[in-house]
Amino acid sequence: MKAGTIVGQETSGHGGASGLDVIVVGGGPAGAAAAIELACAGKSVAVMERTAQPHDKVCGEFLSGETIGDLGAFGVDPVALGGISIRTLRFAGLGVREVELPFPAISLTRRTLDEALLKRATAAGVLVLRGRTVEGLQRTRCGWRLLVTGPSRSYELDAHDVIVATGKHDLRGMARPAGEQSDLVGFKMYFQLAPEQREAMDGSIELALFREGYAGLSLVEQGVANLCWVVRKSRLREVGGGWEAMLGCMLRESRHLQARLSGAEPLLERAMAISPVPYGFVRHEAMGDGLWAVGDQAAVIPSFTGDGMALGLSSGRLAARMLIANESVAAYQRLFCERVRRQVALATRLSRWFVTQPERMAVEVGAFLWPGAVRSVARMTRMREERPVGGKVEECAVG
Ligand SMILES: Cc1cc2nc3c(=O)[nH]c(=O)nc-3n(C[C@H](O)[C@H](O)[C@H](O)COP(=O)(O)OP(=O)(O)OC[C@H]3O[C@@H](n4cnc5c(N)ncnc54)[C@H](O)[C@@H]3O)c2cc1C
């Protein structure tokens, strides 16, 4: 079947057989944000998302103040979706130190949040196509041709511009350079905690260090606890590679986690895992021959900051606004890099200290003696305030 026919079938009412203005590859927060912004400005946009259904992701599911603000601008209210308010951060190292977060925060499952954003995109006029994997991209005279595998067949689709929002997954032939800290594996498991432990968690997110890794624990909807951790690959190999063996080591090395998880029931058959996790990666230049890279494809901040989604949402919005304003991909990538590079570099340095000795000991002593420093780090790893893009872009009202 010809590309044009498929384009017509997939996009009737969204640009027709001549192709779309923009195709966004990947329907996470970054892709959804870009698509909503573009559709609001009258562009014909499709999001191609490879998963067919709502799904879980390896993520601490912590929404920072910036993430909450950005979601609000898109008309998504995490509290109305069942999110849990987080007011304090507990750092479990030498002892447990609790500080008030310098911003309001919420925890909400990615299964719920990502779907809400895609629903918002559909309402804004975006064509959201699920179960579609983009296998390859080719430059054409007036844009891009995408090779897509759908539920029943493969086909080609044309668009003037393409936004790559595939998260940690690289498109074929477009591997990202390694991040500054690329030797970690990420895991996530949901637990039903014992009632007294669940009660003790109320309103807090907890960060615990163990040998060559660190873990975040918080409650999400229905009082379920999300334990999300990263560990160096070498340590994982040393303990035999399995998540259960790793969990056993973590509990032996962190008395705090051991107490929290005593009597807890795992709720997934096995922990979810992701590798590699390229912490510290920041894209300085345009991707490929003029592709817009957003979210984790633009920059990856270590997970302990709980700010990855904020970077995703703000890069998606910025790329869309600059595309609408006919600015170049290179200018976008430079501006976004400038906005996030210091924050990503600081967080990556700390993330490396967390997993190496003797630096980890210094971090634990520092947090124990000066708990205020934990709060300062939480503040310093936020994004720089945004400046308007050349004053050329109009506000996109998504109410
Ligand atoms: C261990 C860990 C803990 C974290 N904890 C937090 C936290 O607590 N708070 C926070 O804000 N951030 C956290 N993050 C970071 C956060 O998960 C990411 O920064 C965020 O998901 C990036 O959004 P995205 O839209 O770029 O990518 P994603 O959310 O990964 O979305 C990408 C989408 O693209 C789709 N896709 C991929 N390839 C293709 C393809 N070829 N064709 C079609 N679709 C495709 C995928 O299915 C996916 O839905 C954590 C990350 C890790 C690793």
Q: pLDDT per residue over 242-300, tens digit each?
A: 899 999 999 999 999 999 999 999 999 999 999 989 999 999 998 888 999 999 999 99
Handedness of CA 397, 15, 297, 129 (dihedral sign): positive
Best mutation site among 296, 351, 381 for ligand 1 pocket (most ligand atoms within 8 Å of CB): 296
Is the pLDDT higher at 355 or at 365?
Answer: 355
**Residue among 48, 59, 162 whose CB has most ligand 1 atoms within 8 A, to mutate:** 59
How much is the pLDDT for 345?
A: 96
Q: Is 313 in the pocket of ligand 1 (CB under 6 A)?
A: no
As a whole number of angstroms, the distance between CA 114 and CA 44 comes to 21
Q: What share of the chain is helix, strand, coil (3-state, %, to 5)?
A: 40, 25, 35
More confident residue, 2 or 343: 343
Task: Kindly tell me if the per-residue pLDDT of 390 is higher than 70.
Answer: no
Instruction: From 10, 23, 49, 115, give the residue whose CB has the most ligand 1 atoms within 8 Å, as the site to mutate.
Output: 49
Give pLDDT, residue 352: 96
Give exposure, 6-23, as e/b (b: 16+ Cβ within 10 Å): bbeebbeebbeeebbbbb
- Asked which of 24-28, 192-196, 314-318, 389-393 is least confident by mean pLDDT, the reply is 389-393
- pLDDT (tens digit, 9 = 90+) per residue, 42-98? 999 999 999 999 999 999 999 999 999 999 999 999 999 999 999 999 999 888 999
Task: Count Cα neighbours of 126 within 13 Å in the Cβ-side half-sphere.
Answer: 32
At 155-183, the pLDDT tens digits run: 999 999 999 999 999 999 898 888 899 99
The residue type of 359 is E
pLDDT at 346: 94
Q: Which of 371, 349, 373, 370 is nearest to 360 (CA)?
A: 349
Percent above pLDDT 70 for the chain: 91
The token duo for 248 is 């056993």
Ligand 1 atom with the smallest distance to the CA of 171 is 41
The answer on pLDDT for 35 being more than 50 is: yes
**Which region holds residue 277: left if phi is over 0, alpha if psi is between -120 and 50, else beta?**
beta
Are 313 and 33 in contact by the 8 Å Cβ rule? The answer is yes
Q: Is the CB of 327 under 6 A from ligand 1?
A: no
**What pLDDT shows up at residue 1?**
36
Ligand 1 pocket test target in 134, 169, 232 with most atoms within 8 Å of CB = 169
**Residue 118 to residue 238: CA distance in whole angstroms:** 40
Ligand 1 pocket residue status of 49, Cβ below 6 Å: yes
276 lines ligand 1 (CB under 6 A): no
105 CB under 6 A from ligand 1?
A: no
Q: Is the pLDDT of residue 15 over 50?
A: no
Query: Within 13 Å, how many C-alpha atoms sit on residue 190's CB side?
Result: 17
Distance from Cα 168 to the centre of ligand 1, integer Å: 6
Nearest atom in ligand 1 to the alpha carbon of residue 29 is 25
Residue bearing the CA closest to ligand 1, atom 27: 167
Distance (Å, rounded) from C-alpha 117 to C-alpha 372?
A: 35
Report how far residue 349's alpha carbon sits from residue 94's, in angstroms, rounded to the nearest whole number: 20
Q: What is the pTM of this model?
A: 0.93
User: Do you know the residue count of the chain?
Assistant: 399
